[in-house]
Amino acid sequence: MIKSTVCYLIRDDKWLMLLRNKKQHDLNHGKWIGVGGKLKENETPYECMVREVIEETGYQVQSAQYCGVIYFHYNRHEDEVIYVYQTNDYT
């Protein structure tokens, strides 16, 4: 099972979203998504979320709220679990 995170960065009622267009055969190609990515070995979901936000935006998360988990069961792809966070506390 793939384990990943997504974080929604919110400020002044505006949400930072990324347009996914780098990989042509990506399930999310052409879609607007939150910031996130796959967990590395021995990494917690929170650590992954903080790392991915830095890598993809340059922002440093000071604190974030855990919102829950989403399970995706695919017929043609490996199943995935996504840990969802949101924050307005980033610099």
Q: pLDDT tens, 48-70? A: 999 999 999 999 999 999 999 99
* Domain total in the chain: 1
* Range(s) of the domain holding residue 81: 2-90
CB under 8 A, 24+ apart: contacts of 42-51: 45/3, 45/5, 45/83, 46/85, 48/4, 48/5, 48/83, 49/5, 49/6, 49/7, 49/83, 49/85
Looking at residue 21, which CATH number applies to its domain?
A: 3.90.79.10
Residue 80 above 90 pLDDT?
A: yes
* C-alpha distances out from residue 18 to 22, 44, 76, 77, Å: 11, 23, 25, 23
Per the model's pLDDT, the better-predicted residue between 26 and 4 turns out to be 4
For tokens 């055969």, name the residue. Answer: 25
What is the pTM (predicted TM-score) of this model?
Answer: 0.87
